[in-house]
């Protein structure tokens, strides 16, 4: 049986000691971060990291992000960053940002999947920061979900899916951002976004002067295709129910209603569109306001998780403009819909 600790208003010293002990003893702890919840384990330990792969059913070639508390810890686990990488670290860490750097051998091979590089992230969330700092241990933590499923952003979703597979679950309330960190690798001197997140293309451009988006962000990638980031190859975020994405356009609502005429479906949509969509309330899943991207970002994964509970044949998902945070949200929606777009 696992233990659930409520950390919304802090925890006591004994409970905190249990969390640190669990990490030191190669156990798994579900920890909230500002982006999504993670399944955390000691990044130095092959034994501990193996358990993460087992709990998630994660592909053996998909490396884990390593979470640190400060810059000193980055230099302990990675080779010296170059000037551009250093500037990215100073500008975006702590925060929802992951930088790929060459790793040092101290990080275990299971966490890095024997790659020469690792993704490094310094979360701004106080809870995980305190755990890393006080245990003086870098933490390997993928998103808290079974591989392929939407990432976990609230404790109810996570307990249902992973409750019996971990030792401690820390409840920190709903995650503030709701989608995972922006993953960046500097390639030939250009910061290249391998996974879009809360830190946008424009944010990076403002600091470095140049930025590129991986050409794979919205593509279906074949299993044997060469990719910069292994995570791009796998089915992701997808509900079991078939989903279709209706792109933003003047005809968006009409297209949704047309599909509804012939399909047993639910709709993931926006507050402003609700009254124009011909569907019962219990089959309308709210993504938020279309004028509030932060709200959509916060809701998107728990909204996707609601689809399978409705027992419908199809989920119709309203899209937004692929710009700024909107691009990052659309990256998740396109993948959830497995590139089925109208
Ligand atoms: O916000 C986040 O990043 C969350 C929280 C828990 O910190 N973590 C997260 O981890 O999303 P995960 O494992 O679900 O996604 C990590 C992504 C994967 O797509 C993986 O392939 C990529 O980062 N990645 C990790 N190490 C890499 C490396 N060395 N080179 C390229 N991509 C890497
Ligand atoms: Mg993930």
pLDDT at residue 1 is higher than 70: no
Q: Tell me the two tokens of residue 139.
A: 């933490």
Residue nearest to atom 21 of ligand 1 (CA): 231
Ligand 1: centre distance to CA 63 (Å)? 7
CA of residue 186 relative to chain centroid, distance: 20
Q: Give the separation between CA 71 and CA 305, rounded to whole angstroms.
A: 36
What digits encode the pLDDT tens for the residues 253-309?
999 999 999 999 999 999 999 999 999 999 999 999 999 999 999 999 999 999 999
Tell me what pLDDT residue 217 has.
95
Instruction: Spell out the residues 6+ positions from residue 215 whose beta carbon is closer than 8 angstroms to its own.
Output: none
Which uninterrupted H or E stretch holds 56? Answer: helix 46-56
Q: Give the separation between CA 266 and CA 334, rounded to whole angstroms.
A: 17
What digits encode the pLDDT tens for the residues 25-76?
999 999 999 999 999 999 999 999 999 999 999 999 999 999 999 999 999 9
* CA proximity to 283, closest of 258, 313, 254: 313
pLDDT at residue 119 is higher than 70: yes
Ligand 2: centre distance to CA 143 (Å)? 4
Q: What percent of the chain has pLDDT over 90?
A: 93
Tell me what pLDDT residue 225 has.
85
Q: How far is CA 203 from CA 39, 76, 174, 321, in A?
A: 28, 27, 25, 18
Ligand 1: centre distance to CA 109 (Å)? 15
* CA proximity to 231, closest of 96, 62, 102: 62
Residue nearest to atom 15 of ligand 1 (CA): 142
Ligand 1: centre distance to CA 255 (Å)? 35
Q: Give the separation between CA 300 and CA 99, rounded to whole angstroms.
A: 24
Q: What percent of the chain has pLDDT over 70?
A: 100
Segment 72-89 shows an average pLDDT of 98
What digits encode the pLDDT tens for the residues 195-245?
999 999 999 999 999 999 999 999 988 878 889 999 888 878 889 999 999
* Other residues' Cβ atoms within 10 Å of the Cβ of residue 41: 31
pLDDT band at 123 (very low <50, low <70, confident <90, very high): very high
For the Cβ of 182 lying below 6 angstroms from any atom of ligand 1, the answer is no
Tell me what pLDDT residue 303 has.
97
Residue nearest to atom 6 of ligand 1 (CA): 38
pLDDT band at 187 (very low <50, low <70, confident <90, very high): very high
For the Cβ of 36 lying below 6 angstroms from any atom of ligand 1, the answer is yes
172: helix, strand or coil: coil
253: helix, strand or coil: helix
Q: Give the separation between CA 257 and CA 6, rounded to whole angstroms.
A: 43
pLDDT band at 334 (very low <50, low <70, confident <90, very high): very high
* The model scores a pTM over 0.95: yes
Question: Rounded mean pLDDT of the chain?
Answer: 96
What digits encode the pLDDT tens for the residues 198-207?
999 999 999 9
Instruction: Spell out the residues 6+ positions from residue 181 whose beta carbon is closer than 8 angstroms to its own.
Output: 35, 65, 96, 97, 98, 121, 195, 197, 198, 199
Q: Tell me the two tokens of residue 329.
A: 């949200």
For the Cβ of 143 lying below 6 angstroms from any atom of ligand 1, the answer is yes
pLDDT band at 166 (very low <50, low <70, confident <90, very high): very high
Segment 158-187 shows an average pLDDT of 96
For the Cβ of 142 lying below 6 angstroms from any atom of ligand 1, the answer is yes
Tell me what pLDDT residue 226 has.
87
| Ligand closest to CA 111 | 1
Residue nearest to atom 30 of ligand 1 (CA): 229
* CA proximity to 225, closest of 238, 212, 216: 216
Ligand 1: centre distance to CA 214 (Å)? 15
Tell me what pLDDT residue 236 has.
84
Residue nearest to atom 18 of ligand 1 (CA): 231
Q: Extract the runs of DSSP E, i.e. beta strands, from 103-259.
A: 117-121, 139-140, 168-171, 182-187, 190-195, 212-213, 242-246
Tell me what pLDDT residue 304 has.
97
Q: Give the separation between CA 301 and CA 52, rounded to whole angstroms.
A: 21
Ligand 1: centre distance to CA 317 (Å)? 25
């Amino acid at each position: 049986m696992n233990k659930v600790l409520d950390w919304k208003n802090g925890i006591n010293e004994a409970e905190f000691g249990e969390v640190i002990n669990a990490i030191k003893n190669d156990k798994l702890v579900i920890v909230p971060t500002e982006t999504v919840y993670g399944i955390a384990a000691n990044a130095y330990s092959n034994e501990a990291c193996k358990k993460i792969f087992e709990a998630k059913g994660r592909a053996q070639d998909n490396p884990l992000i390593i979470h640190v508390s400060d810059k000193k810890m980055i230099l302990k686990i990675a080779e010296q960053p170059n000037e551009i990488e250093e500037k990215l670290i100073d500008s975006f860490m702590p925060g929802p940002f992951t930088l790929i750097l060459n790793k040092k051998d101290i990080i275990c091979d299971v966490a890095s999947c024997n790659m020469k590089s690792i993704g490094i992230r310094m979360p701004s969330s106080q809870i995980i920061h305190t755990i890393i700092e006080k245990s003086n241990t870098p933490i390997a933590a993928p998103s808290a979900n079974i591989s392929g499923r939407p990432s976990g952003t609230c404790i109810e979703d996570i307990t249902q899916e992973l409750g019996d597979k971990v030792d401690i679950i820390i409840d920190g309330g709903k995650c503030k951002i709701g989608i995972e960190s922006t993953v960046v690798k500097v390639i030939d001197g250009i910061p290249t976004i391998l996974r879009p997140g809360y830190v946008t293309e424009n944010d990076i451009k403002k600091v470095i002067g140049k930025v590129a988006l991986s050409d794979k962000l919205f593509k279906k990638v074949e299993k044997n295709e060469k990719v910069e980031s292994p995570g791009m190859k796998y089915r992701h975020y997808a509900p079991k129910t078939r989903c279709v994405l209706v792109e933003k356009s003047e005809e968006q609502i009409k297209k949704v209603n047309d599909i509804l005429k012939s399909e047993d479906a639910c709709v993931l949509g926006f507050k402003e569109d609700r009254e124009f969509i011909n569907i019962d309330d219990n089959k309308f899943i709210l993504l938020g306001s279309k004028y509030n991207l932060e709200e959509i970002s916060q809701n998107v994964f728990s909204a996707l998780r609601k689809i399978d509970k409705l027992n419908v044949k199809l989920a119709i998902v309203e899209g937004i403009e692929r710009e700024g945070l909107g691009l990052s949200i659309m990256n998740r929606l396109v993948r959830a819909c497995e590139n089925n777009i109208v």
